Amino acid sequence: MADYAFVTHWSFRAPIEQVWTLISEPEHWPEWWHGVEKVELLEKGKDGDVGSLRRYTWKSKLPYRLRFDMRTTRVERPHVLEGRAEGELDGTGRWELHQEGDWTRVRYDWRVRTTKAWMNLLAPLARPFFAWNHDVVMRWGGEGLARRLGCSFAP
């Protein structure tokens, strides 16, 4: 398996609660996030969504799709949202939000390993392309969220 650690930063001129609402409702991501094909709720969570299980299907600039399940492991509204991924990607994702004046700053940490044989086989050569692809998809998300909010966006 090949390990990856990605960090994404977004800034929105919008209140933290509005940004949180869009990030914390992934079933609606396909409406505004190019690259997210489908998010299915498989199990409902408790205590603010902790324990929920969703199946994500992503497409990207490169000609492949990824599907994985993600269980929500931590929710601290409106600041922290964490989950554990299993499937074609295996690892953890963590959203962190904080307000600075008129801006909401978002950090996403995505620490995963690929489980698809072809991705692992190509990892030594394709790693820079996979990283570029991840950055493109995350940029699509930031731009889409800003459009949905009708606000300024800075990566």
| 26 within some domain | yes
| 131 within some domain | yes
For residue 100, what pLDDT is reported? 97
Reported as a single tens digit per residue, the pLDDT across 36-89 is 999 999 999 998 899 999 999 999 998 889 999 999 999 999 999 999 999 999
| 98 within some domain | yes
Reported as a single tens digit per residue, the pLDDT across 7-22 is 999 999 999 999 999 9
Give the lowest-confidence range in 25-29, 96-100, 104-108, 126-130: 126-130
Q: What percent of the chain has pLDDT over 90?
A: 90
Q: What is the mean pLDDT of the chain?
A: 96
The number of folded domains in the chain is 1
pTM for this one?
0.94
For residue 153, what pLDDT is reported? 94
| 6 within some domain | yes
d(CA 1, CA 108): 22
| 129 within some domain | yes
Which residue type does 108 have?
A: Y
| 27 within some domain | yes
Q: What does the pLDDT average to over 96-101?
A: 98
On whether the CB atoms of residues 41 and 28 are closer than 8 A, the answer is no
CATH number at residue 19: 3.30.530.20
| 120 within some domain | yes
* Residue of higher predicted confidence among 47 and 112: 112
| 154 within some domain | no
* Structural domain boundaries, residue 103: 2-149
